[in-house]
Amino acid sequence: MVYKNKSVQLCLIDQKDLTYQISTLKPVDCISQSVSQIGLINPPILSPVGNSGYRIVSGFRRIAACKKIGWSELSARILPSDMEQINILGLAIADNVQHRELNLIEQAVAIEKLGLYLDDDTDIISYGKKIGLQLNRQFINRLRRLNKLSDSIKDRVISDTIPLTIALELDKLDTASAEEVALFFDELRPTLNQQKEILLLVKELARVEDRSISDLIKTGSIGAIRGDMDLDRSQKLKRIRALLKKRRYPAIHHFEALFDRNLKALELPRDIDFSPPANFEGNRFSMTIFFHSLAEFKTHVGTLIRLADAPHFIEILKKQIDNQETLY
């Protein structure tokens, strides 16, 4: 690449022109301090615009820092005026890629900007390879969907509050719901699996209850838990997850509570472990006994024999839901 090194007046650089900006990094004071102490180690790259103006290709934060500390001019590398825009963009992306790993939003921005000059995804993949972007069709589609999300959600993707898989799910929601879910996750910081679980529950509950997701998680009992100042983040998360499951699966919740009550009423010793079939679907219950001596074994056998006539035990085996009328 043939650059022309030149001292350029800051007033001739259009800092509002973000044509080639890829980085999502915000201006930081430490850069200003560094430039002020050591000077500009890497001169920014500029592209000439019109007779005397310049567009930033690389070095947005460095230029902002120079301006902040009161410089009126700086050294820069000037690109040839006849250089094709796609190659200027490629240079801007490559400059970022060579310094650090691009975050997802930066990659999404890069894809969107490359799409202005390249006709199809095959060209983008092949050009991306040249400038250090590892892409494939599926990833490009994901990045495009990511790019459609609001700035606040993108910020949460950058800060790792919202993983890519969740962000892509938010893309399928209405804007208000996507924003509210993102805010909710930001507040309570659930794990990825918890986010997936919560998102599925709220989507389905909203459908069942004919209301929007934002309304569901902003108002009523969920809203009240979120706003409860006496609860810490993990307590809120635990209560909300339990509440969502109870509302989404009322019969299952009701039956499990009934099972727990009956099991408790059996007063089984700690050395006898009673397990129902998974989801109560199969017919095989299991009882595991732990013992250290023949005497202990005999005691447990006596307990098991008594169980056979215990009403609570019989109730468990019947798998009947009480209060059935309310379920249908």
Instruction: State the DSSP H helix or E strand holding residue 244, giving kind and residue range, or none if neither.
Output: helix 233-248
Rounded Cα distance, 87 and 80, in Å: 11
Shortest Å distance, C-beta 169 to other proteins: 13
Shortest Å distance, C-beta 136 to other proteins: 20
Shortest Å distance, C-beta 256 to other proteins: 10
Rounded Cα distance, 205 and 311, in Å: 36
Shortest Å distance, C-beta 286 to other proteins: 16
Shortest Å distance, C-beta 321 to other proteins: 5
Shortest Å distance, C-beta 112 to other proteins: 24
Rg (CA), the chain: 31
Is 87 or 212 the residue whose CB approaches other proteins more closely? 212
181, 246, 317 from 261: Cα distances, Å: 35, 16, 14
Is 171 or 296 the residue whose CB approaches other proteins more closely? 171
Is 75 or 326 the residue whose CB approaches other proteins more closely? 326
185, 209, 279, 322 from 327: Cα distances, Å: 32, 15, 18, 10
Is 67 or 254 the residue whose CB approaches other proteins more closely? 254
Supply 77's token pair.
């590398």
Residue indicated by tokens 């089984």: 268
Shortest Å distance, C-beta 323 to other proteins: 10
Is 258 or 272 the residue whose CB approaches other proteins more closely? 258
Q: Is 46 left (phi over 0), alpha (psi -120 to 50) or beta?
A: beta
Is 126 or 320 the residue whose CB approaches other proteins more closely? 320
Is 68 or 203 the residue whose CB approaches other proteins more closely? 203
Rounded Cα distance, 181 and 175, in Å: 10
Query: Long-range contacts made by residues 118-124, C-beta under 8 angstroms, separation at least 24?
Result: 118/86
Shortest Å distance, C-beta 315 to other proteins: 11
3-class DSSP string for 23-87: CCCCCCHHHHHHHHHHCCCCCCEEEEECCCEEEEEECHHHHHHHHHCCCCEEEEEECCCCCCHHH
Positions in the binding site for other proteins (CB under 8 A): 204, 207-208, 249-252, 255, 279-283, 318-321, 324, 327-328
Burial class (CB in 10 A: 0-12, 13-18, 19+), 281: exposed
Is 1 or 321 the residue whose CB approaches other proteins more closely? 321
User: Strand 45-49 vs strand 73-78: parallel, antiparallel, or unpaired?
Assistant: parallel
